[in-house]
Amino acid sequence: MGRGWGVDPFSLPFPNREAWLIMKTIIAGGTPLESPPGGDLPRRPPRETADGFRKTLHCPLERNKLLAPLSTLGVGGYAEYYAEPSDLEDFLLLHRLAREENMPLYVLGGGSNVVFADGSFSGIVVSTRRWTAVWQIPMGDRVVVDVQAGHVLASLVSGTAKDGLSGLEFALGIPGTIGGAVAGNVGAGGRSIGECLDEVVAIEPDGSLRRWRRGEFSCSYRRCSLLEAGRLLLSCKLSFSPGPRIEIEARLRHFRSVRGIQPHGGRSAGCSFKNPEGESAGRLLDLCGCKGISSGDAVVSDRHANFILNRGRATAEEVLSLMRICRNRVLEHTGILLEPEVRFLGWGLSFGDNGDGSMLQMTSGN
C-alpha cells in the first residue's frame, strides 16, 4: 500500500487533478525541507547515521550538493547527500544508509532524461560516474560484454563497433550511461537495448545482491521490469554478434543520419515525451505548433519539437510549465495524451513502500 510524505499532491504546481494524475507516474521521491522551492538552501542538521557512515565509506559523502551542473538540462536545486562510489562496498553501504534513514535514493548516471526540482530535497543521490569498467567475454559465435552501470553508452557503441561487434548500432548518439539505458530500455529505429540484454546484477530492496538472467525480467517500450521495484542496477551483460566492419559502419551511418535532425549544442534532458503507439511525439508536437514556444528560459527546440532547451537560466518549474503547455496543445488538437519520458526528482512525494514498510525510492537518470 502506498505511503506519502505528508505532502498534499494537489498543493504542488500542477493546474488540476487531471494533470497530477498524469504526471505522478514519473515523479520520484524526495521530501521538501523547510525552504520552499527556489528559496535559500535549508541548513538541516546532519544525520547521525550518515556521519557514522562517512567514517566507513571510501568515497566522500557530500552534503547540500548542487545538482544543476550534473544535469544535461542544467536545472535543479540541492540534494541532502551526494556520493560517487567506485567500489561495491560503498554502493552497499550507501544503500544501507538509505534504508536505515528511510531516505529516497536516486541513482544518477550521465544526467540526461532527468529534471531536478528547483528547491532542496531529502535523500541521497548516488552517481555511477566512477563505476565504469567493461570486459569482453568470447562465447562461441557471440561475444558477451560485461559492463558496469556508469559506463557511457556512446563509448560502448563506438568501442564495440570498432572491435567488429554488432548489436548496439541503433544507440548511436543516445546520451547517458548503460545503467540509465537499461532502466529506460532506450532504443531507436525499432530496436532497444533490452534485445541485447542477457543478465543484470542489482542490489535488491533488502540490500542483498542478485543476478537476474534473461527470462527472469522483461523489457518493453522505455521500461525494464527490474528497475521498477527499488533495485539499484550495478552491471549488466550484453550479447553481441561479430560482423563485417563495413556492414557495422553502414548501420552507424544510417542511425547518424536519422539522429542528425535532433538539436545539438543546447542544454536538454533529451526527448520530453514518449512516442504514442504508432506515432511520433515530435511530429505531433510540431503539428500543434509547439516549436519555438517558451516559458521563461525554457524553450521548445525549433529543430525538433520533442526537445526542450535551457537557453540560459531556466528553472525546473519553467520546464514543467512548458511541458504542460505542449501536452495540453496535443491533447486539445489530437485527443492524444502524451506521457513524459523525462523523470522528475525532488518534487515532494514518495510513491509506495517496498513491502517492508521502508520508504526507499530509487530511479535512474541516464
CATH of 16-130+346-365, one of 1.20.120.80, 1.10.275.10, 3.30.43.10, 3.50.50.60: 3.30.43.10
Q: 3-class DSSP state for residue 210?
A: strand
- Mean pLDDT value of segment 310-318: 94
pLDDT at residue 353 tops 70: no
The topology (CATH level 3) of 134-253 is: 3.30.465
Report the C-alpha gap between 30 and 32 in whole angstroms. Answer: 7
What pTM, to 2 d.p., does this model score? Answer: 0.80
C-alpha cell at 192: 532497444
Q: Residue 316 class from Cβ within 10 Å (0-12 exposed, 13-18 middle, 19+ buried)?
A: buried
Residues in Cβ contact with 25 at an 8 Å cutoff, skipping those fewer than 6 apart? 339
In the chain, residues under CATH classification 3.30.465.10 are 134-253
Q: How confident is the model at residue 257 (pLDDT cuts 50, 70, 90)?
A: confident
Q: Which residues pair with 295 in a beta bridge?
A: 298
Per-residue pLDDT, 173: 86
C-alpha grid cell, residue 182: 537499461
**Whether the predicted pLDDT of 30 surpasses 50:** no
Residue type, 359: M
Q: 358 versus 334: which is more confidently predicted?
A: 334
The CA distance from 167 to 49, in Å, is 45
Residue 350's pLDDT is what?
A: 30
Q: How far is CA 118 from the centre of its chain?
A: 17
Distance, in Å, from the CA atom of 183 to the CA atom of 128, rounded to the nearest integer, reads 13
24 to each of 125, 144, 345, how far by Cα in Å? 20, 37, 11
Cell (9 digits) for 285: 508536437
3-state percent helix, strand, coil for the chain, nearest multiple of 5: 30, 25, 45
Q: Which is more confidently placed, 150 or 259?
A: 150
**Rounded to 5 degrees, what angle do the CA atoms 205, 93, 184 make?**
45
Mean pLDDT of the chain: 82
Q: In degrees rounded to 5, what are phi and psi of residue 128?
A: -100, 15
**CATH 3.90.78.10 applies to domain 273-338:** yes
Distance CA 7, CA 32 (A): 9
Judged against a pLDDT cut of 80, whether residue 26 lies above it is answered with no
Q: Is 132 exposed, middle or buried (0-12, 13-18, 19+ CB in 10 A)?
A: middle
Residues of the chain with CATH 3.30.43.10: 16-130+346-365
At 165 the three-state DSSP class reads: strand
Contact criterion met (CB below 8 Å) for 364 and 107:
yes
Q: How confident is the model at residue 357 (pLDDT cuts 50, 70, 90)?
A: very low
Q: How far is CA 349 from the centre of its chain?
A: 17
Distance CA 285, CA 227 (A): 29
CB 229 within 8 A of CB 129: no
- Torsion angle of alpha carbons 43, 90, 69, 129, nearest 10°? 180
* Per-residue pLDDT tens digits for 104-141: 899 999 999 999 999 887 889 999 999 999 999 999 89
Structure confidence at residue 260 as a pLDDT band (50, 70, 90)? low
Cell representation of residue 8:
498534499
DSSP type of residue 149: T
- Cell numbers of 54, please? 562517512
pLDDT tens digits for 169-226?
A: 999 988 899 999 999 898 888 889 999 999 999 999 999 999 999 999 988 888 888 8
Give the contacts of 265 (CB within 8 A, at least 6 positions apart): none
* Residue 310, CA distances (Å) to 74, 90, 154, 294, 300 in order: 7, 34, 23, 10, 9
> In what helix (H) or strand (E) does residue 324 lie, and over which residues does it extend?
helix 316-334
